[in-house]
Amino acid sequence: MEEIMAGLATCVCTTLAQAGRPACCCMWYRGQSRPPMDACHCDCDDGGQGVAWVRMLNMENTAMTGTNPRISGFRADCAIPAPRWRITVEVGVYRCIDPGDPQSGPDCQQRTNEAANGHWDDLLLRQAVECCPAIDNRRPVWIRTDPVGPQGGCAGSIVALWLDYAKSKTP
């Protein structure tokens, strides 16, 4: 699991940086909920801003549930099915947004620019996953892409996907 998640985090960090949109913090995050949106890291040394992450949402034994017929088969060295799993992964990025003037509300042009940059992040996250060698043989299936926020001066993009995962039976 570590090589999948750490490899995917590296792909996300690299893709964002190569597009000129590096994140100050880029990580494999473990938690029941997303990283908090109240600390976007609005300025870092390399000119980037924001927080990017990958997170496993759940792992489901598909041999028992049969929810993904593409994941099936027997191992060549035994007569019982190898444990087959489908993992649901979230990939996301938060960016700093201008909270605007509390008296007059948000500036429309600023919000339009933030929306365009958020859509760019959507596309970059998808590119990071599609071009990531760490999951080449994991057959990613897109579930959804969602905007998140604004909250605490942050807004962001989240993509969720399924990956095949075969659990080793070695002790």
The whole-number pLDDT of residue 82 equals 54
- The rounded Cα 133 to chain-centroid distance in angstroms is 15
The position carrying tokens 């109240």 is 38
The whole-number pLDDT of residue 170 equals 45
- 152 C-beta neighbours (distance < 10 Å), count: 15
What are the residues whose beta carbons fall under 8 Å from the beta carbon of 138, sequence distance 6 or more? 4, 163, 164, 165
The position carrying tokens 């071009």 is 131
The whole-number pLDDT of residue 112 equals 92
Q: What are the 10-residue block averages of pLDDT along the chain, 171 residues in total?
A: 92 96 93 82 84 92 57 49 79 89 79 93 95 88 91 91 71 41
The whole-number pLDDT of residue 136 equals 84
The whole-number pLDDT of residue 81 equals 53
CA distance 65 to 161: 18
Q: Which fold has domain 2-166?
A: Alpha-Beta Plaits (3.30.70)
The residues pairing with 164 across neighbouring beta strands, listed in sequence order, are: 86
Half-sphere exposure of 86 (CA within 13 A, CB side): 21
CA distance 93 to 136: 22
The whole-number pLDDT of residue 91 equals 97
